[in-house]
Chains A and B, each alone.
Chain A
Amino acid sequence: MQSIQKHEAPDSSVPSLDIDPFSDDFLTNPYPHHERMREAGELVWLESYGIWASARHNAVRAGLNDWENFISSAGVGLANFRTEKPFRPPSLILEADPPQHTRSRTVLARILSPRAMQQVRETFQQQAEILIDKLVDQGDIDAVKDLSEVFPLKVFPDAVGLTESNRENLLLYGNMVFNAFGPRNHIFLEAVERYEPVREWIMNRCRREELRPGGFGDQIYQAADAGEISYEEAPMLVRSFLSAGVDTTVNGIGNALFSLASHPEQYAKLVARPDLARPAFEEGLRFESAVQTFFRTVHRSVEFCGLPMRENDKVLFFLGAANRDPRQWKDPDVFDIERKPVGHMAFGSGIHGCVGQAVARLEGELILSALARRVKKIEFTGEPARRLNNTLRAFDSLPMRLIPH
């Protein structure tokens, strides 16, 4: 066993664990580790990185809603921007506090509002049906490469207003960004290596002349025209669409398909009632949360969950563990598409709660309902293969057979 530097807890009363939440072992199957952290306390210390961790639902929710004590402007990854240089220019919404955050969020929330979703719904639905029809003809598919990557890469960049070519670059970008919230481990370094060649392509996509007039991206520039944000901020906010809008929904959909294929009786319920598509996607997010974790930084020394946290400490909130906390959920390890898991943490909570959640729900609902209407059964034809990511719960491939009605 490799010896690692051990960081002592600040106080002997603090439950201290030797868990490394970014090891291959943890990321492959986090659930036993989640349970160990939840049972150790509301707030625990992880010696591997010298960070706090919170895995219970009540503590995760309380921490994420306390944006004044647990700030985002010092980074929502392991790095502390107060003492370390950020890996990339910080996001104006994710890695920001009010008032900057409020300004960015107001613009993005309007562009991605439920009302805006009503306007794109029909187009998204047509695309879902076209894709499922094609996959039914194909029969044997990889539900990642042929479905969960394809659908979000079609509808979301279309709505943002990107051209068709080279969109798969967005997957490399998202993969890198979400890995960068962890340590500089082998998973991160490999992701950076794959991303480097497309860096310039990504940044160029954020320019106004590259974006279809009227699309989500162009609407950000319209907000700059109206003086709500500056012209320097506009491309940075388009960048947020590109980093946060694809790999998240790709895995939300992939994880839902994995859960449904692993629970044929739940898929049968969905087939009998395709109107369960939306709650089924929601339960998929609870059961296998696409975004597993986010960090915050302690603004000033504070007591939280009865423990003393020091200024500049980092704290890791486990969304995926909160979503399986038996204190919050009855039978948390049971996947039940009729559960209606209101209050799950998969989109975060509070002022930084996912601003694109209406888009994510729309995509998830439409693809699952299109699938249920055409396909009687989904069966694995091979072993699911994981793609390890420091933040995301992701698959590399999900070999499946679609058996039509």
Chain B
Amino acid sequence: MNRMLLLDSLRRNWIALVIQAGVASAIWIAAGAGLISTGAAIAASMVLAQLSGPGLTIRMVAPREVLILPMSKAEIWRTRLWFSTAVVVCAVASGKLLAFAVSPLWLQPAPSLETIALSTVLDVAYASVFTWMFFVVPTQRPVLMGIGVAVFLLSPFVPFVLADRLPTAWNELTVTSISLIAAGAVAGVLAYAGTPLIVTAPSPTAGRAALKARGRGWLPEFPQVVGLNRLLVKVWSTAVAIQVGTIVVMPLVMQLISGMFGGPFDDFPDSAREFGLLPFAPDANRMNGVWIWVFANVGNEAMRSMLRHLRSLPFRAWTLTAVLMSGPLISWINAWIVLGLFHVVVFGQLPHDWRLPLFIGYLSCDCLVRSVQLRWDTRWGFPIIMFVVLPIAVAANRLGLPADPLLLGLGSLAIVAAAWLHHAGLTSNRAAYARKPQRGPFGVEAPG
């Protein structure tokens, strides 16, 4: 391990680590207050550690700027491994300890130290498994790579599926849970002992050469679709592919995992409902808005990265504003259609209520987040908007205001505000056109 490289990662990412600790703290305070189950808090910790640990390593493992430094590739890998498991888990654990310390201040039960210790062991095990997966995923074999990526994408959901079965005290450990922790430990040791291909690749351009060798592609070309239509079709087709793929695969895999470990879901609709994929059902899980956000909010990132080119093309800034805002609109409309079709497949009939106010609410939040990012060139668009939206939601709830008219009214206003901010960003913020470095979860910065 290289101390300077580790310190560099800490220096660059301390804000992200503080945020992770803050999120963990909030989760465990909520668990102490009984708002969520202890199992769910443990599951959330595992996901946090895994996403910000190995998820972070993906971006940071070996950029050229680091590869040229005078140290061995094994040393680079081990430093990254330390950061993405030990450091990240420590950040999450410090959040839990903070919850333990502050909960008694407002006379609410604190999570026990025993549960926190057990949860931290599970965090290390879960993060280690996915660190070891670096030896499998970044190969030049598309099938293995595809499986690895699919497993990685599904990994945040698995602990939640198993939340009710996760041990919350040492005496609850079963043979299965001990075996899984041991598997994590072995994976961690194996990962530490080796150096994956992602670091030892013979040439930085090897990936490019492999791409070149893959031929002309099999997707239809549709040369008659040109200009802005092509851009919008691209957004739409990406949204269709991801959303249809998700709605087919996610409940199915959750059902499989649930079956393997005796999890909480009785049937396919039950698991789909749990993940918010049946929002039009009368007994929809209304708390699972996050999954709908993740599900629908896809396909638009390309437009932002092409902004410089789009701005040089012959249309006005207002037209470009409309184009940028139609991206989220397309994704959300498509999401609503796919969710509606899924409803038909599950229940054999069209939804009675398409929940238009909820649609407007989601769409307006999405547009506002993007407009704040564009106007002020900030990566904190989502937290800023949540900081504005959540107090309004809580106040409306306390005052007993009807949700639907409020969502329709405020949502429409927010869409207008988002359009105005988009235009202001396009015409006045030059930084919006600069290339952005890739960032990991919670805005983690890659070195270089």
| Chain B binds chain A | no
Residues of B within 8 A of A (CB): none
Residues of A within 8 A of B (CB): none
